[in-house]
């Protein structure tokens, strides 16, 4: 898990890159800011990039509670 500071709203969020290791099928995926939906970090991967909001202590909030 890594952190990224959104260039648009200046808030920090966590992102996780999951690589499915599928041959071919690689695409540029973007970490989408969970606050303002601005694309931030990007990477060419066959997987997905998940983003998480951070709580007041800077810990990632699981999707089910977001
Ligand atoms: Zn943002």
Q: Has residue 22 been placed in a domain?
A: yes
Cβ-based neighbour number of residue 41 at 10 Å: 19
How many whole angstroms from 34 Cα to the centroid of ligand 1?
7
How many whole angstroms from 55 Cα to the centroid of ligand 1?
15
What confidence score (pLDDT) does residue 4 get? Answer: 97
What confidence score (pLDDT) does residue 1 get? Answer: 92
What confidence score (pLDDT) does residue 66 get? Answer: 55
Nearest to 4 by CA among 17, 16, 15: 15
Q: Has residue 52 been placed in a domain?
A: yes
Q: Is the pTM here over 0.75, yes or no?
A: yes
Average pLDDT, the chain: 91
Number of domains in the chain: 1
- pLDDT, one tens digit per residue, over 28-48 is 999 999 999 999 999 999 999
Q: Has residue 64 been placed in a domain?
A: no
How many whole angstroms from 23 Cα to the centroid of ligand 1?
32
How many whole angstroms from 13 Cα to the centroid of ligand 1?
9
Place of tokens 């920090």: 12
Q: Which domain holds residue 20?
A: 2-59
How many whole angstroms from 64 Cα to the centroid of ligand 1?
20
Q: Has residue 8 been placed in a domain?
A: yes
Nearest to 66 by CA among 38, 42, 18, 33: 33
């Amino acid at each position: 898990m890594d952190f990224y500071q959104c260039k648009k709203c200046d808030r920090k969020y966590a992102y996780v890159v999951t690589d499915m290791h599928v041959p071919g099928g690689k695409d540029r995926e973007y970490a989408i800011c969970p606050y303002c939906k601005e694309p931030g970090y990007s990477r060419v991967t066959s997987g997905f990039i998940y983003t998480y909001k951070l709580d007041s202590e800077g810990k990632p909030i699981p999707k089910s509670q977001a």
